Structure 1
Amino acid sequence: MPTIVHFDIPADDSERAKNFYSRLFGWKFEKPLETMDYYLIETEGPEGESGLGGGLRKREGADQRIMNYIGVPSVDEYLEKVEKLGGRVLMPKIAIPGWGHLAICMDTENNAFGLWQDEEKSE
């Protein structure tokens, strides 16, 4: 069953946001690429187990909000379902090389959400 696999938090000031969330929740931040203002977020569950991962990035518009990404087996298949059920595709499927594919949608209640498909790794 598809579930939330990632979240993104937009920030006007990345350092201020990192300080807030690390002090509030104990979240850890890692910058995977020096060329981007983007940080991976590591969270923990109540028993110290690895929690849902996220990201922190520069806000790109005044109305940008926290975005949840739902993991699905096929972004293409779920984009069709979104439209059949009355939702809208805001950003078509794009590739994130080495990671997977994503698309951004709007539900029937004007809530944005992402669809995420892991890239298949050959062994």
Structure 2
Amino acid sequence: MAHGDITHIDIPVSDMDRAQAFYSTLFGWHIAELPGFEGYPMWQAPNEISGGGLTPRSEGFTQPRSYVEVDSIEETLRAVQDQGGRVVMDRSPISETSWWAIFEDPDGNTVGLYEGTTDT
């Protein structure tokens, strides 16, 4: 479960063009769709470290969601349940070398998990 770094933040939006203009003007974020992720514009902060995505607002996804990097999503989800949390979405692939999942803490907050490797 190590790491614990916030690695990504998704922001739900109702108007993608308006949101891109708003955040790029407000914070100087570079926002673009990457190949393979069409319809999911990703933002990068001027520090070139922080980043995330703009996601269509939907039922159940109305507030920004942070993603925490872990060594093992499976181990982390077991610990979530042991500590009184609930798995919302099991480990799912992003690419051949990265995965994500979502859990809910005992207070009802949803948090994302990210597991990735540079090994190919």
TM-score under structure 2 length normalisation: 0.89
The reply on whether 1:102 has 2:100 as its aligned counterpart is yes
- The one-letter amino acid paired with 2:13 is A
Alignment of 1:1-123 (within 5 A): 1-33=3-35, 36-44=38-46, 49-61=47-59, 63-122=61-120
Moved more, 64-73 or 94-103: 94-103
Percent sequence identity is 33
* Partner Cα distance (2:36, 2:58) in 1: 19
Deviation at 1:9, TM superposition (A): 0.8
- The one-letter amino acid paired with 1:101 is W
Moved more, 16-25 or 60-69: 60-69
Q: Return 5+ residue gaps in structure 2 as ranges.
A: none
Relative to structure 1, the CA distance from residue 34 to residue 73 in structure 2 (aligned partners, 3 Å threshold; closer, same or farther) is: closer
Render the CA deviation track for 1:12-32: whole Å, top value 9, x for unaligned.
110000111111101110111
What is the count of residue pairs matched by the alignment?
118
SS at match of 1:38: coil
SS at match of 2:58: coil
Deviation at 1:57, TM superposition (A): 1.7
Relative to structure 1, the CA distance from residue 58 to residue 52 in structure 2 (aligned partners, 3 Å threshold; closer, same or farther) is: same
Q: Return 5+ residue gaps in structure 1 as ranges.
A: none
* Partner Cα distance (1:93, 1:114) in 2: 10
SS at match of 2:91: strand
TM-score under structure 1 length normalisation: 0.87
